Amino acid sequence: MGLLFWAIIVAFGALLLIRVYPSVQEFLTTRQAVDRVVRSDPRPGSVPEIRRAFDKQRQIEYTNSMITGNDLEIEAVADGFRVSFAYDKEVEIADPVFLLIKYRHTASTR
């Protein structure tokens, strides 16, 4: 009975990992794209330039299909810009059960 119990726990953990991993990988790729855009030009000229650069980065590598340049929150700070994004992702575990993951990231040109 103990072996069966642990087999069920390990199987559930593996199922959870298999379902969540693509979402986490998508977030990490999007975060890397935002960081690359922010760090590529330490003094970007304007907000539209940052949005265009992010959209170009999305075309180069598959990032997040939910986030576009228009979804970025860009704030001017004293020495540059602060770029952030946030979104929610529902991951289906089993038909009536979903896992809600809230992703957010902020990058600064400093």
β 97-108/80-94 pair status: antiparallel
Query: Could you read off the pLDDT of 32-80 as tens digits, one per residue?
Result: 888 888 887 666 678 888 888 888 888 887 666 778 888 899 888 887 8
Q: Reduced to 3 states, what is the DSSP secondary structure of residue 81? A: strand
pTM (whole model) above 0.75:
yes
Within 10 angstroms of residue 39's Cβ, the number of other Cβ atoms is 11
CA distance 36 to 40: 6
Query: Could you read off the pLDDT of 85-105 as tens digits, one per residue?
Result: 999 999 998 889 999 999 999
